[in-house]
Structure 1
Amino acid sequence: MDFQPIERSPEAFQQPVTADQIVAMTRRAFGPHVRVSAAVELGNGTYNNTYRVDLDLAAAGAVVVDDDDGGAPPPGDRSVILRVAPEPARQFRTERGFLRNEVASIPHLAPIAALMPRLLATDFSHEVVGRDHVFQSLLAGVPAPEGLGAYPRTAWGAFYRSLGAITRTIHDVRGERFGPVAGPVFATWAEAVTAHLADLAADLDGLGLDSTDVRRLAESAARHRAALNRITEPRLLHGDLWTVNVMLAPGAPEPTICGVFDCDRTSWGDPEADWPILLAGRRPGTERDAFWEAYGPLANTDEARLRRLIYRASHLGGARLERHRLGNAAGVAESYAEMRELLALLPQADPACRQS
């Protein structure tokens, strides 16, 4: 077996599994006679450990049911994706059970199912390895961060227009409660937002980082609960839809999205709180403006602008965790200055109270 893990320090957040563990996980998923010819760790993500696993099916006479007709695939090597979650003790409160959350979200993501990898096997038992893991089909295409560079910037508008259309399709899915798809869920949007901020502050405390500003943000969200609770219908949010999590069709005349992956941050909430909405709004006057042509305009009321400030600050708190995990001390320090600026923009009185 050709095993190519990414070398990391023992202190790194992501820790690889062993070659023997990959063989054991694969045989449990697809049968005891499947032979693993290669396992190569992919380094694009910062949370799960992701591997491309090559299965030599011809040598074993094994069957993996993942073709369109539900029968045996053609003989020979077959590549699949193995995603392994961090050990439970390494997971932040705000990131707990991400793979379980993704599996729970699959039925709700049916409108974009044709773009997503197929779930081949799931194991949350921790019997083979003490970590959640799933096997998925390998998406065709080129990762967007690599593929976009093959096109002139004048053509990038087509990419962002497509990203806006996919985001709108996801946001059109309706739910019944607010919060992560796999739970916990809440009856109101304000409860879901403040619960997330409380977990975020606890995560920062656990790392020895100052959480005072995030706790102030949670207090502000509670004070503005009337504006938050104007959002009464939960909509499906992807949570991480941007260039790093999509594939492009190779050789297409314009950048064309052919795959969407890493859907483990899905939740029910206000569409304007979703990650792609925040990123699409950055750098106005560029090709990103094409996003709104397909998605549609955002609300332009005092309440909506207030909510977006809260969401922006919440995302910044999450980015602080990510920067710490990546050893970006300067970025962590910058997040405190950025948060001070955002908190200063939040009004003391709730616009919803003035308008109700």
Structure 2
Amino acid sequence: MESTTKNRQGDAVLRTLIARAFGDDEVPTADGFAEEITEGWFNVLYRIHLRSGRRTVLKIAPPADVPVLTREIDMMRAELEAMRLISDRTAVPVPEILRVDLSREIVDADLFFMEHIDADNFGFTADAGGLPPEVVAAGHRQLGALNREITSVVGPHFGPILGEGFAT
């Protein structure tokens, strides 16, 4: 997906981010270590192959100077908090957050590295006819159960996950 909010970075910047997050020993030396994951609409995501062979996903928020909707301001920070809450309060599988950089020193945006999950996107695969109907139906039932568990999490207030809210 193409969007003005995609904060794409070159290999040199990606290597600098990897060094900061994982140390110089994990910085890839060969080309082709970063592959953009293009399904998203807002942030840019890269599948990163570290020098050790380990894979991770780097997610970078939009550039600071790109206009976004009010509800999209600091959305990555809200996403990180939501992932933490889901991980802490449910049995729903959530990728492990490996490193977070909110300093905006290297890139003009928040970013984080998370665990890479080696799997195809269920929705895209199902929509493309790559799964039998009974597998799609079972997947939808499982997604429903996971969503039910997520919506059982009660927050301290009504409103944005970060910042002020309203008493419930």
Do both share a fold (TM > 0.5)? yes
Q: Distance in 2 between matches of 1:104 and 1:156?
A: 30
Matched, 1:78 2:54: yes
Matches within 5 A, 1:46-65: 46-57=41-52
Residue type at the aligned position of 2:138: A
Q: State yes or no: 1:171 paired with 2:151.
A: yes
Report the equivalent of 1:248.
none
The aligned residue for residue 157 of structure 1 is 137
**Which structure's CA Rg is the greater one?**
1
Superposed displacement of residue 105, structure 1: 2.2
Counterpart contact for 2:34–2:48, Cα < 8 Å: yes
Q: Distance in 2 between matches of 1:141 and 1:17?
A: 25
Displacement of 1:50 in angstroms is 0.3
Separation in structure 2 between the aligned mates of residue 154 and residue 29 of structure 1, nearest angstrom: 42
Alpha-carbon separation, structure 2, partners of 1:87 and 1:55: 25
Mapping of 1:1-356 within 5 angstroms? 12-36=4-28, 37=30, 38-57=33-52, 77-90=53-66, 91-110=68-87, 111-113=90-92, 115-148=93-126, 149-187=129-167, 232=168
Mapped to 2, the partners of 1:34 and 1:139 lie a distance apart of 19
Task: State how far apart, in whole Å, the 1-side matches of 2:158 and 2:112 are.
Answer: 26
Residue 142 of structure 1 deviates from its aligned partner by 1.4
Q: CA deviation at 1:15?
A: 3.6
Structure 1 runs (4+) greater than 4 angstroms displaced: none
SS in 1 for 2:58: strand
CA distance in 2, matches of 1:133, 1:169: 27
- Distance between the aligned counterparts of 2:91 and 2:118, measured in 1? 15
For structure 1, the residue ranges without an aligned partner over 5 or more in a row are 1-5, 58-76, 188-231, 233-356
Deviation at 1:139, TM superposition (A): 0.8
- In the alignment, structure 2 segments of 5+ residues that lack a partner are none
Distance 1:162 1:83 in 2: 26
> TM-score, with normalisation over the residues of structure 1?
0.42
**How far apart, in 1, do the equivalents of 2:63 and 2:7 lie?**
9
SS in 2 for 1:17: coil
Paired residues of 1:112 and 1:170 also in contact (CA < 8 A): no
SS at match of 2:54: strand
Q: How many residues align?
A: 160
Q: Secondary structure at the match of 2:50?
A: strand
C-alpha deviation, 1:106, in angstroms: 3.0
Q: Which residue identity does 2:5 align to in structure 1?
A: F
The Cα of 1:118 is off from its aligned counterpart by 0.5
Whole-angstrom CA distance in 2 between matches of 1:49 and 1:147: 21
Match of 1:156, SS state, is: helix
CA displacement 1:320-341 (0-9 Å, x = unmatched)? xxxxxxxxxxxxxxxxxxxxxx
Q: Distance in 1 between matches of 2:63 and 2:164?
A: 20
Q: Which is richer in helix?
A: 1
TM-score if structure 2 supplies the norm length? 0.85
**Greater relative contact order (Cα 8 A, min sep 6): structure 1 or 2?**
2
Deviations 1:196-251 (A, max 9, x none): xxxxxxxxxxxxxxxxxxxxxxxxxxxxxxxxxxxx4xxxxxxxxxxxxxxxxxxx
- Deviation, 1:151, is 2.6
